[in-house]
Structure 1
Amino acid sequence: MVTLSRRLPELWVMAGQAQLRYGVVASKVAVPAQLGSGWRIGALDPAYAAEVLTTQVCEQLKAMAAVHPDLNLGIDGDQLVVLDPPRKDAEILAPWLEQLATVAGAIDAAAIDSWVQPEPPLRMRFYQHPDWYWVGEDDSLLETTPVKRSGYDHGTKDVIRGRDGDGPPFVAFVHEWKTRRTESYTDSEGRSQTRTVVENHSETILGFQLPARMPYLKVGLRGIGRGISFESGAFNDQFAVHADDTKYAYDVIHPRQMEYLMANPPATFECVDDWAWFEVDVHSQEVIGHSSHFLRGFLSRIPRFVWRNLGLQDSPYPPLDLTPSRGA
């Protein structure tokens, strides 16, 4: 990585057989004539890419590709990042680094001040999720979240907090603990013995804070039991809904909400007081993002009178045309 003088939007430049990194959000844009064939450019805004890739920048990129044919370069904030440098050969690496610095200098010289990005908070963040941040460990969560209580040596890891836009804030982490049991066995001399076995366990916790305390409601695929019967046979065949208040369930799971659920089946989730907890097996950015997007759409489809009955003046989540795709 080489530091740039300004924080800029992302831009991806690939030559030869270089591949765009998995998960990157970018559109293919036109390759400048100065680069010639064999290149691929990715950016969110083609106008930005055109202003960055000046003749001087293109000349320096071509010089680098002459030494490193599968050049894979990207702008990440105020860093110019290149994958797979020739680090095993010092005689090649030294001039190659000088070329990389020259590319950075050419980008710094480009007239692109209108694209400068604001300085983000000093914390570990997530790609395409500016309001997510990494916590790491926070064992106080063991007292306030629905973790398993059995065993001993409980702890948290990979704690993430954040929200997506105006969606509900979330907390996600892995809970680890141990259990101990005694088992019998027969030793090599045929005698009965006992030994203590320690087993390690883990579970994924994902919860979203709701804007009001809500009556208990659990929604999941039919495997969680028969549940409340709704007017849609197709919905009843696919989902099971459990609630302490049947009328409340009918108010929330109305025909339009059923259509949304059937089109975008989520992981099983339950609303308990002012939290919605999702039953997920994987702790990943993809799972958190998909659940966040789904829940925002679910909450936006709860009628206004329900929110008013819960003590709010209006819906905290205005209706949006949200159709989350799997893995979004």
Structure 2
Amino acid sequence: MKAMVSNAAVLGIFFVSQFGIGFIGNTLLLTLQTNTLLFQRRTKKPIDWIFIHLTLANVMTLLFSGVPEIIHYFGRRHFLDDAGCKAVLYLFRVGRGLSLCTTSLLSMFQAVIITPSNSRCAWLKPRISTCIFPAFLLFWILNMLIYIRVIMNVVAPYNSTQVNQIYSLPYCISEGPCTKKVSPFLGAMVTRDVLCLSLMILTSMYMVRLLFTHRRTVQHVHRTSLCPRASPETKATHTILALVSCFVFFYWTDSCLTIYRNYRHNLHGLENISLFLACSYPSICPFLLIKNNDRRSFLNVHFQKSESSH
């Protein structure tokens, strides 16, 4: 019994640490973005709204996954009824979906912004900013509709009497649905995941290629410099690669574990790993953005000036 209590305490401390780091990072990023929008209006950019929406989605994911998990591992059992389980798991899934969609939008937005003026896609530059808020609305509607199935299936563990159960979280049980009924839900979710991640990867590859081409051009012109420094373009490339790589790794690994758990019941050790992966990107994301976010945007005016001079 003491070993069990000790293990629960260790897991509780672990999730407290992850939640604390992620919450502090997202709060700091949100403060920086809010300060830019309210008090530095001359430097604000449309991409700041995407950062804010991504930060809010990450905070939403951390709150509705980390806090209940911490309460559970510090000894409070069965603290949610059916309505509480439905609300917590639904909002957690919606927040995670919003994080996916917003990261994809961020990648596409940056790709359009750095597109050369002589490109065939250059006509999107003055129009892309007008699509930000309609995209946010679409993301909310889409994810709220996709995860309605969660509300229908999730119950508190002590209220579940069915034998066919899928262990979702330590404090909530997802009762196994009929395959025919769950197919539209899985189809919509998989379609959204594949579309968003594909767009994210393709646009990131395009930006990496464009930024490295620009970097070689600048190095050729300024190769006599005695004190070479990492340019904003190089920092942006590293950030984009890290952001996309982290999201793809954590999201798909968690998705694979979730699918595996759905087919192999009573694997109670995997839900902790799955939750850790689900909360890893929201915890790491703000620090990646803050590190190379000198002017609230990955690609600052220096890039545009360098491009126009050549």
Q: Which has the higher contact order (CA 8 A, sep 6+)?
A: 2
More helix by share: 2
Q: TM-score range by the shorter chain?
A: under 0.3
Greater C-alpha Rg? 1
TM-score, length basis structure 2: 0.24
